[in-house]
A and B are shown apart, each in its own frame.
Chain A
Amino acid sequence: MEEAKSDLTFEEVDRTILKTLEPPTIAWYILLLTTGSALLIGAFSWRSQIINGIGLSGKNHPISWAVYITDFVFWVGIAHSGTLISAVLFLFRAKWRVPIYRLSEAMTVFAVATAGLFPLIHLGRPWNFYWLLPYPNQRYLWVNFRSPLLWDVFAVSTYLTISVLFFIIGLIPDIAAARDRSTGFRKFLYSVTSVGWRGSDNQWRHYMAAYAFFAAFATPLVLSVHSVVSWDFAMSIVPGWHTTIFPPYFVAGAIFSGLAMVITIGIPTRKIFGLEKILTLWHFEKMAQLIMFTSGIVTLAYATEFFIAWYSQNPFEMSQFYYRAFGELKWFFWGMVFCNCVAPLVLWIRPLRTHLPTLFVLSIFINIGMWLERFNIIVQSLAHEYMPAAWGTYYFTWTELGITLGSFGWFFTLFCVFIKFFPSVSLTEVKETLEMPRRHAEEH
């Protein structure tokens, strides 16, 4: 599919995008009530876990990392394609990123904010979370910089900070445009949050220099954050974890799941707010193509894990991968294979790549599949380590399922609020993609 030539005018772009900021409809309140209820379930579950102890989660010997770390890796993964779309594709000058980059950046910020909660939830005593940080203390001890867990603290906090700054810097000119077209409380809100942006030549000059550097900084972060997350596992000697393919495998998986989440959010947003002229089928097809590519990479990674387990003839590796496919948790494995390797094959049929209901359903399958992938890596590996006497299996509890549901509530609630207060598509960059008005061109 070729990119359709846009006949939008600057005024239409403003009108269409700023329409998303109009007073909410009843549908928005219903959505907020749903996501807010999920959030409350999560909050009560966590409260109950804090009061009664970590025993309320299903973690037990030998599986001491379980659903919370699965959720953590899942949400960090969701965050990834936001930065890919906003920074990497910016540097590559990919035009199709323009209408979706704000949505995906918001998704990044909210997903990292969600992911960041899980190491704290996973801690038995979350009030001691600051022990993770190197700070002067009366016991004269410092953190262990050789531990990948500490690398992760630095990687995720840096990623959150840079994502938030990149998000804010992109929003400033758009908030200024919203300020110039609003009245009352919103005028005040946007005047403060646009920090006095006027779009003068001097401002744009420094803005563009800074934006390019932010994109350049965020690009290696896309690769580094999930690589560091993968080292949490790969640096250990647990069969199923101790492998060098983890960083690229995790990064590809993260982009795969993140793009699926952009589609899950993008399709309803486009429909509800009438953004059809801005967010076209061409943009969805581009995302679908990237999903096909990353689905291929994760499929290859799954196959490589099995192949290397056999090729190495290492009994522990072979036993681990036999267990994954045929052990008591095998349905989690086959569910993952179906969602991540088989279901995306429908995208090879061109008309289905631009069929939005198909894409929407597929994106949900991929999200489920990627959660299952992290669950398989974490829980199945720990359930079946070296000594048969120490093998075990996993039993879910309502508390951890409630907290997982709550994390979706937290993520989508933040999203619902954002979408009503700030432009969810970049006015500035959409205008940049339109034909520049020139007298010379008009006269000929």
Chain B
Amino acid sequence: MSKNHVVIAHYKYLDDIVAAIAAMKARGVKDFRTFSPFPSHELEEAVYADAPRSPVRFFTLIGALTGCLAAVLMTSFMSVDYPLRVSAKPLLSYPAFSVIMFECTVLFGGIVTLLAMFHFSRIPNVAFWADYRPNFSEGTFGLTVRATEGDAKAIQAELEKSGAQRVEVEYVR
């Protein structure tokens, strides 16, 4: 059976939603997500306890190294291609070029970090999210679970017992 239902639970308390996540995991439910108005280490720990860390950092490293390398190549090539011979200074003046290398490292690293963050966070995405509620950006924590019609009722009952202020079930395609 397809998971064409979503159970949406609204929580006022952080410890309640953390306990509810543990209960869902114990039940073997994997298809869930949480919403919060601000980042919370506790929530992240509860959801991603066993998951590897965000891969954004690898892209930051790749972007930074690319920027540095690009600056080395650019300054070297341009200084040799159009030689400015001044006071017997070496054409390849790397101490002077290090400023350009630093700036390009930061520039490329920053841009690639943003792109990686957008990619992994699945944004930009202005599509309608069936399991999102506007109060999740105010002061309410949300836990939403995709389930089959049969499971949805049982999950709803369990989440109601876990301290949720409100639990709704919605049909989604």
Contact = CB atoms under 8 A, between A and B. Distances in A.
Contacts of A143: 78
Is chain A's binding surface mostly helix, strand, loop or mixed?
A: helix
B99 A155 contact: yes
A440 B137 contact: no
A142 interface: yes
In this complex, the interface size class of chain A, counting residues with CB under 8 Å from chain B, is: 35 or more
Interface in A159-181: 161-162, 165-166, 169, 172-173, 176-177, 179-181
Interface stretch (B1-9, B107-115, B146-154): B107-115
B117 A206 contact: yes
B53 interface: yes
Nearest to B94: A145
Contact of B117 (A209, A228, A438): A209
A293 interface: no
Interface in B104-134: 104, 106-107, 109-111, 113-114, 116-118, 120-127, 129, 132, 134
Interface stretch (A73-81, A118-126, A210-218): A210-218
Interface stretch (A253-261, A268-276, A322-330, A427-435): A427-435
Interface in B11-61: 12-16, 33-40, 43-44, 47-48, 53-54, 56-57, 60
A10 B138 contact: yes
Contact of B121 (A166, A203, A437): A203
B146 to A, nearest CB: 13
Contacts of B36: 199, 201, 204
A156 B87 CA distance: 28
A144 B81 CA distance: 12
Contacts of B93: 145-146
Contacts of B54: 205-206, 208-209
B29 to A, nearest CB: 14
Contacts of A177: 37, 137-138
Contacts of B121: 197, 202-203, 206-207
B39 A11 contact: no
A158 B138 contact: no
Interface in B61-118: 74-75, 78-79, 81-82, 84, 86, 89, 93, 96-97, 99-100, 102-104, 106-107, 109-111, 113-114, 116-118
Given A210-B117, A436-B14, A145 B97 contact: yes
Nearest to A172: B123
Contact of A432 (B39, B84, B118): B39
Contacts of B81: 140, 142
Contacts of A428: 37-39
A9 B82 contact: no
Given A162-B106, A228-B99, A431-B139, A210 B123 contact: no
Interface in A378-395: none
B16 to A, nearest CB: 6
Contacts of A142: 78-79, 81-82
A433 to B, nearest CB: 9
B57 A209 contact: yes
B134 A180 contact: yes
A210 B56 contact: yes
Contacts of B56: 206, 209-210, 213
Contacts of B124: 195-196
A235 B3 CA distance: 67
Given A169-B114, A206-B117, A209-B54, A201 B33 contact: yes
A180 B137 contact: yes
Contacts of B14: 436-438
A6 B104 CA distance: 42
A255 to B, nearest CB: 19
Given A165-B114, A207-B117, A431 B35 contact: no
B28 to A, nearest CB: 19
Nearest to B36: A199
A206 B100 contact: no
A141 B44 contact: no
Given A145-B100, A206-B116, 7 more contacts: A150-B100, A151-B99, A173-B37, A195-B118, A195-B124, A196-B124, A217-B109
14 contacts: A10-B138, A11-B138, A14-B139, A146-B97, A154-B103, A155-B99, A161-B111, A179-B137, A180-B138, A198-B136, A207-B39, A208-B54, A213-B60, A439-B16
Interface of B: 12-16, 33-40, 43-44, 47-48, 53-54, 56-57, 60, 74-75, 78-79, 81-82, 84, 86, 89, 93, 96-97, 99-100, 102-104, 106-107, 109-111, 113-114, 116-118, 120-127, 129, 132, 134-139, 163
Q: Give me the 4 closest cross-chain CB pairs, A-B, nearest first.
A: A10-B139, A180-B134, A210-B117, A196-B125
Interface of A: 9-11, 14, 134, 140-146, 150-151, 154-155, 157-158, 161-162, 165-166, 169, 172-173, 176-177, 179-181, 191-192, 195-210, 213-214, 217, 220-221, 224, 228, 427-429, 431-432, 436-440, 442
